A and B are shown apart, each in its own frame.
Chain A
Amino acid sequence: MSVLVFAENWDGNFKKSTYESVAYASGLAQAVGGTATAVVIGNVSADNLSTLGKYGATKVIQYDGADVNHQAVASILAQAVQAAGAKYVVFNGTWKSKGAAPRLAIKLSASLATEVVELPSSTAPFTVKKKTFSGKAFAHVELSSDVKIIVLSTNSYGVKENAVTAAVEKGSGSASEKDASLQHVEYQKTTGKINLTEAEIVVSAGRGMKGPENWGMVEQLAETLGAATACSKPVADIGWRPHHEHVGQTGIAVAPNLYIAIGISGAIQHLAGISSSKKIVIINTDPEAPFFKAADYGIVGDALQVIPKLTEAIKKLKG
């Protein structure tokens, strides 16, 4: 039984989230007794394509189409699923995938689970664990349709290696005119920044920083760690930081290996979006701040004093 995985690329390159979904598809293929086939749309070099084998894709099908939108992804994937007779489709947790998967579910009369965090606990009935209540809880969802679609929660499964040789094929098919009716106008890309959802380390700060002028030290700490920066909701609302950095129940959900929370009280809405982090560090002047209950390591102290020292100590460690 073939498992298809949408291997998303950015200008011909894959990112960690793509490899994670390929690794998941490979794990799923083993569970259901099949193989994992990666579907690539657009121009990707043979060298880059072959890297998908490292995470367990035995076959890669490459379709034409530059810079396709989520609707085009859904219609090309529908053709790929039908051509392969696939019963499972796996997506990474990016915006494009989250947009494409529900449309594909309708095209294929498939069952869909999003925000999935693990391989199925049972394949008959097919049951997967997903995040609910913005990460405050998990649900075990049974997918009953013949074709099943899974959208992975980024950083939940891990980029597991399982090296095989990937055979590359050309796929025949393309998006319909209808999908192009959603017209691209322009991109406003943020370059050189580490993607928040994919980041292994996130340095996040809140109102305890007192003002935007103090964020330089937060950025320095993040840079030293190779981390992405994030913030609490009020900090984005008052314009100290851009909206796309706001994490929590009504912002971005993150699941890094390390989440460092500076001057953030730990409100339930904030914790909801970050509780999947593997390790949490908190720095706060108030020993009673609720965040300490959700953290692994804590420092009671003034952020403005502690952060520069912490950055220095990490620099020393990294030599």
Chain B
Amino acid sequence: MKILVCISSVPDTTTKITFADGNTKFNTAGVQFVINPYDEFGLSRAMQLKETLGGNVTTVTVGRADTEPVIRKALAIGADDAVRIDADPMDSLQVATEIANYAKDKGFDLIITGRESIDYNGGAVPGMLAELLGINSVSPCVKIDIDGTTATMQTLIDGGKEVVKSALPLVAAAQKGMVEESELRIPNMRGIMAARTKPLAVIPGSAAGNAKFKTFDLPAPKAACKMVSADNVEELVHLLHTEAKVI
């Protein structure tokens, strides 16, 4: 079983978002970067699959050298080796093209991504990557089991879940459920030591995108909260009905 896990380096979820250079860039000053939470579910499932089926887990990240601490964390969690494609990721197409170019002749049985990166929220890399490689994709994938060369997966549909089946290789876009919160792998001391010497290959990027993030802005600040006494819920209902007009 050869598994490729796509890892995106994103701002920690507690980050207060601000922008720099006339609102044209995300302000990274003082920001802690982490493995995209959905990719963490995917990586943890990849480790479980490797343990039961044998094989190899490789991670791939499109990014500059500043993403290497996050890549080392993925290695500390248990990935065998890592690839960094050296480029500034500008949009989902560029990222998907870089990964497809790298993966196309490597014979991966399974490619795992997250269902979405929590920074630019494209939710597009898994589908684009699969289409570029001419293979099936399942997004979001909330369960995956492998039997021989067939994967049985659970995906979400509006109004419930669907169980689907596909021959390998395929792209599965992880979210919680693929493993539970309690099954998330956390690096231990031995893992962290081992990660220092695991192979991290750097290859140059060459792909282009076709969507440009020009400027950013923040939601308009909220007006002060109107307080209502707990003994007077009728007042709240009245306000929601006549002032806010939402009930």
- A residues bordering B, Cβ < 8 Å? 10, 15, 17, 69-71, 74, 94-96, 98-103, 105-107, 109-115, 127, 130-145, 178, 181-191, 193, 195, 197-198, 200-201, 225, 237, 243-244, 246, 249-251, 257-258, 268-269, 272, 275-276, 278-279, 281-282, 292-302, 305-306, 309-310, 313-314, 316-317
Contacts and interface: CB of A to CB of B under 8 A. Distances in A.
Interface in B146-177: 152, 155-167, 176-177
A268 B14 contact: yes
Given A95-B157, A257-B246, A310-B236, 5 more contacts: A133-B15, A134-B121, A139-B216, A144-B211, A189-B160
Contacts of B120: 132, 139
Nearest to B122: A114
Interface residues of B, number: 79
B126 to A, nearest CB: 7
Nearest to B125: A102
B239 interface: yes
7 contacts: A105-B124, A105-B128, A106-B131, A140-B215, A185-B164, A190-B159, A197-B158
Q: Which of A106, A111, A114, A300 has the most CB of B within 10 A?
A: A106
Contacts, number: 256
B29 interface: no
B210 interface: yes
Given A96-B158, A299-B229, A237 B181 contact: yes
B211 A112 contact: yes
Interface stretch (B103-111, B132-140, B197-205): B132-140
A182 B125 CA distance: 18
Contacts of A305: 230
A103 B131 CA distance: 5
B233 interface: yes
A281 B236 contact: yes
A297 B211 contact: no
A102 B131 contact: yes
B13 A140 contact: no
Top 8 A-B residue pairs of the complex, sorted by shortest distance between their CB atoms: A301-B230, A102-B127, A189-B160, A106-B131, A185-B163, A102-B124, A258-B246, A103-B131
A257 B244 CA distance: 9
B99 interface: no
A258 B244 contact: yes
A242 B217 CA distance: 34
A296 B244 contact: yes
Contacts of A197: 158
Contacts of A257: 246
A256 B11 CA distance: 27
B241 interface: yes
Nearest to A186: B163
Interface string B203-247: 000000011111111110011011111100110110111001011
Given A138-B217, A189-B159, A190-B160, A317 B247 contact: yes
B88 interface: no
Contacts of B234: 313, 316
For the residues of A in contact with B, the DSSP-based class is: mixed
A61 to B, nearest CB: 22
Contact of A293 (B130, B219, B225): B225
Contact of B140 (A95, A130, A139, A188): A95
B136 A102 contact: no
Contacts of B142: 243
A134 B176 CA distance: 16
B163 A297 contact: no
Contacts of B216: 132, 137-140
B75 to A, nearest CB: 23
Nearest to A153: B121
Nearest to B97: A106
A111 B211 contact: yes
A185 B127 contact: no
B217 A296 contact: no
Q: Which of B13, B226, B229, B239 has the most CB of A within 10 A?
A: B13
B216 to A, nearest CB: 5
B240 A279 contact: yes
A141 to B, nearest CB: 5
Nearest to A248: B13
Contacts of A299: 227-230, 233, 236
A24 B196 CA distance: 51
B230 A300 contact: yes
Given A139-B213, A297-B239, A188 B119 contact: no
A148 to B, nearest CB: 9
A132 B241 CA distance: 32
B17 interface: yes
Contact of B240 (A101, A143, A297, A298): A297
